[in-house]
Structure 1
Amino acid sequence: MKIRKIKNTAEKLKNGGRARQTDNRGLTLIELVITVAIIAIFSGVVMTFIMTGSSTYRSTSSNAKVQMETQELVDRMEDLIIDTNRSLYYANGTGENTGSEIKNDIKQSGDGNSDGNKTFIVCNEYKNNDGNTSKYICDVIDWDKEDATVYYSQREYTATSSSDDSGKNETEAAAFSEDEGDVSAFSPDEEDSGEQNVRNARTKVKRSVLATGILDFRADVTKVESDNIVRFQLSTENGKKEIETLHSVSLRNKVKVKKPADSGWR
């Protein structure tokens, strides 16, 4: 009897050892392959999510940067024109090549970008103590299509004061030459006559970059004299996508849309 119990006990110990050996075995090749495949699939999902999020962030960040830079340009132009007290003028070309006047070239649906340079001139008048002459300061914003750049410059001169509201004939500002110093004569426009006694014409601020990456520059001055409103349309680029923005500026003073006496602006 005792011998049988001993045999049973030995058999149980033997079977238990085998069970323990079975439980402690490692991964089979198939299990290892399946594990690696699961990890690869999971890693791919995670990487796709990360790349999608990164691409979205870059796109959003780039778009926000373009919008911010465009708004900065509009803010600077608004600062230049919002308090103007004399006149505004918008034309094709820049510098000595300033050409025909533009009233409104805001892009319509389906239109392409502008095919030439543009100039926007803001003129302010400040009367001198002599009662006869004024200092004229003109801010010049010009867009170069080839450079996709907006430039800024400023010139000033002394000339006969324009009329007030008493009914006197209005006189226009004088021409600017490329050289510093006095200017003895100018080419009057259709509303002016006689000499303007222009002198001390000079470049006050040399031409400098105001903004880059401007693919198109357009404006509307048709409502300046009636509603004191100027509209600007700017086109910029975000990656391969062109973005157009339209901005309105409300002027604080009544001004005229008036051509300068000479187109030789810098």
Structure 2
Amino acid sequence: MIDAWGGANRDKSVVMGIVNVTPDSFSDGGRFVPVEDAVEHAQKLVADGAGIIDIGGESTRPGFIPVSSEEETSRVVPVLDALAGLIDIPISIDTSKAVVARQALVRGASIVNDIWGLQGDPAMAGTVAEFGATVVIMHNRASKDGAIDIVDDMRRFFETSLAVAAWAGISPAKTILDPGIGFGKTPAQQLQALAAIPQLRALGYPILVGLSRKSFLGRLTKAPVAGRLTETIAANLAACSLGASIFRVHDVAEHVAALAVFAAICPPSEAAAWPPARSDPS
């Protein structure tokens, strides 16, 4: 198993390239369903500068239709098998199902990107711990509620998830938090969640943001999905300035370039450096 951050310069931002092997993802559904297309795309993302490849076999767009664990596994396993030995950066499996995560980890994935933050499948935390994998704990809600304090909701959610992770034996050094942009939040709450990155960062974990091409950006500028590159880069640079260090995107080369320029002008402060300094939880 490749170490989750092997080969990455830990003092710099990390770009996570998206490989959706789904027919119905909101931005690129169906484009990379054939195994050879998914493998070619993953290799291109690596060449473009991705530090992590994130493979997903179930769409989580608004209104998505859930698929069985068998169907999801059948989508991702051939891609993982085909990528074996072809890329030398960490592979993340984007799933909320422990059985899918296990099949990916057996095949060399070293990160589990769980949109339910270890609170969906009760077997997920144990599976992550068993393999010594890194976990991305994402904030999520079953429904939107514009009346709640979304930042307080995130704080309480992460407290629960981190307790689950600790109970299972997941190392704090292999834990990443994600504010869950696009999940269970109103457009106003999406912006509030991003603005709260410094508060999340203060918990002592790296912050991943996954906002590439999402609808709240389109609402700000009226741009269609395919035309939201500028908006995505702007939002990710704002997130970087607030302390995020991992950026899950469709457009890797453009983000690698933008983040390099940003870092040259605004070097990361000690507070935002990767990896974060963490106090002993004991």
Task: Tell whether the structures are fold-level matches, with TM greater than 0.5.
Answer: no
* Shorter-chain TM-score tier: under 0.3
Using structure 1 for the length normalisation, give the TM-score. 0.20
Using structure 2 for the length normalisation, give the TM-score. 0.19
Q: Which structure has the greater CA radius of gyration?
A: 1
| Greater share of residues in helix | 2
| Greater share of residues in strand | 1
